[in-house]
Amino acid sequence: MFKTLDTIKLIFSLLYIATVAFLVAEDVEISVDIQDWLVILTHLIAIPLVIVVWQTQWVSITLVVGIVFSIVSHVAVMYDFYVDRIKPLDIAFANLTLMLIASIVIFEKIPEWTLPVLFIITVVNTSFWDVMWVYSVFSGAVNIIVALYITYRLVYPSEKRNTTFMVIGLLLGVTGTVFFLRDGSYGDKNYGILHSVWHVCSYTSLYFAVRSLRPSVNPNALRRPRIEFARKIEFGKIAYH
């Protein structure tokens, strides 16, 4: 079930979370420069996620663009450079990534109506990037829907889904959210190191969410090579019966 990449990602994530939690609990002083580097370098955790969706390149390219904007946004904050212009792009692509992966995980075929929905939500998040409740409503709604779907799959398992990976993804997502809500703002004592945990947890959570799609043809593949759009207007067939 677990491949080498899965094991490495999970062990690294758990060790990183435990290390940061220990350092914060012990009130260890960590320099701002080190924290800044951790915020930037933890974007590398997204590489396995890009690899696992690489067969569907429109998704992988969108992920890469979002990662680049996230890095640029953090650098802009560090040097106070056009933050009000660049930060909205980071927030918009972060939500777009979340919604794309959620669609891939939940639907057997991605309904075409999801495209205008993704566009609208992305535009709204870009316009209201500094209004916390707007961001919270959209991202919170997507997270709740995914959590409900995972709960449904635990009650009604499918041979096409790996429920262990789904649960791992959910738990890491919740853990990352806790650290995200505690990181404060740039300049706070532990902002960088706490926010770096958010990067590790969120990218690893999305990775295991995608890995939960069991390969139906090649058992050695990282995921089932299926992402296609429904051809008519419909709510979307939930994967899987």
Structural contact between residues 213 and 224, judged by C-beta atoms closer than 8 angstroms: yes
Predicted confidence (pLDDT) at residue 97 exceeds the cutoff of 60: yes
Residue 184 structural domain: 4-211
Can you tell me the distance from the alpha carbon of 205 to that of 139, in angstroms, rounded to the nearest whole number?
Answer: 15
User: Is 200 inside any structural domain?
Assistant: yes
Positive/negative CA dihedral, 183, 184, 186, 189: negative
Predicted confidence (pLDDT) at residue 229 exceeds the cutoff of 60: no
User: Is 225 inside any structural domain?
Assistant: no
Residues 6+ apart with CB under 8 A from 225: 55, 56, 215, 217
How many structural domains does the chain have?
Answer: 1
- List C-alpha distances in Å: 232 to 113, 226, 240: 9, 18, 19
pLDDT, residue 224, reads: 46
Residues 6+ apart with CB under 8 A from 35: 190, 191, 192, 193, 196
Question: Residue 196 is encoded by which pair of tokens?
Answer: 């770096």
User: Is 227 inside any structural domain?
Assistant: no
User: Is 189 inside any structural domain?
Assistant: yes
Q: Which long-range contacts (CB under 8 A, 24 or more apart) does 78-84 make?
A: 78/36, 78/186, 84/130
Lowest mean pLDDT among 82-96, 105-119, 199-213: 105-119
User: Is 216 inside any structural domain?
Assistant: no
Q: Number of helices and strands (H, E) in the chain?
A: 9, 0
What percent of the chain is modeled with pLDDT above 90?
44
pLDDT, residue 73, reads: 94
Mean pLDDT throughout 61-87? 92
Local confidence band at 158 (pLDDT 50, 70, 90 cut-offs): confident
Structural contact between residues 54 and 230, judged by C-beta atoms closer than 8 angstroms: no
pTM of the model: 0.85
Residues 6+ apart with CB under 8 A from 78: 36, 186
Predicted confidence (pLDDT) at residue 222 exceeds the cutoff of 60: no
User: Is 97 inside any structural domain?
Assistant: yes
User: Is 217 inside any structural domain?
Assistant: no
Structural contact between residues 59 and 225, judged by C-beta atoms closer than 8 angstroms: no
